[in-house]
Amino acid sequence: MRFFHFHTPEQVPLSGIPDCAVAIDVLRATTTIATALAAGAEAVQVFAHLQQLQEVSQSWPAPKRLLAGERGGKTVAGFDLGNSPLDYTPERVRDKRIFMSTTNGTRSLQRVEGIPVVITAALVNLGAVEAFLKAEGFEEVWLVGSGWEGAFSLEDTVCAGGILHRLGCQNHLEQLGNDEAVAALALYQTWQGNLLQLLRCSSHGQRLLGIGPENETDLAYCADVDRLAVVPRQVQPGILASVS
| Residue 244 pLDDT class (50, 70, 90 cuts) | low
Residue 46 main-chain phi, psi, to 5 deg: -110, 150
- The pLDDT tens digits of the residues spanning 187-224 come to 999 999 999 999 999 999 999 999 998 899 999 999 99
- The pLDDT tens digits of the residues spanning 70-129 come to 988 889 999 999 999 999 999 999 999 999 998 777 889 989 999 999 999 999 999 999
Spatial contact of 223 and 123, defined as CB atoms under 8 Å apart: yes
Q: What is the DSSP letter of 92?
A: H
For residues 61 and 216, give the distance between their C-alpha atoms in angstroms, rounded to a whole number: 35
- b/e sequence 136-159, b meaning 16+ C-beta within 10 Å: eebeebbbbbbbbeeeebbbbbbb
Structural domains in the chain (count): 1
| Residue 94 one-letter amino acid | R
Strand ranges of the sheet holding 117-121, from the earlier edge strand across to the other edge: 2-6, 140-145, 20-24, 117-121, 231-236, 239-243, 43-46, 97-101, 65-71, 74-75
CATH code, 236: 3.90.1560.10
For residues 70 and 136, give the distance between their C-alpha atoms in angstroms, rounded to a whole number: 33
Interstrand relation of 117-121 and 140-145 (parallel, antiparallel or unpaired):
unpaired
β-bridge partners, 98: 44, 66
For residues 130 and 122, give the distance between their C-alpha atoms in angstroms, rounded to a whole number: 11
For residues 161 and 241, give the distance between their C-alpha atoms in angstroms, rounded to a whole number: 24
Domain that holds residue 214: 2-243
CA distances to 20, 32, 122, 142, 231 from 162, rounded to whole Å, are: 17, 18, 9, 14, 15
Q: What is the value of pTM for the model shown?
A: 0.96
Helix (H) or strand (E) run with residue 191 in it: helix 179-191
| Residue 150 pLDDT class (50, 70, 90 cuts) | confident
* End-to-end C-alpha distance for the chain, whole angstroms: 22
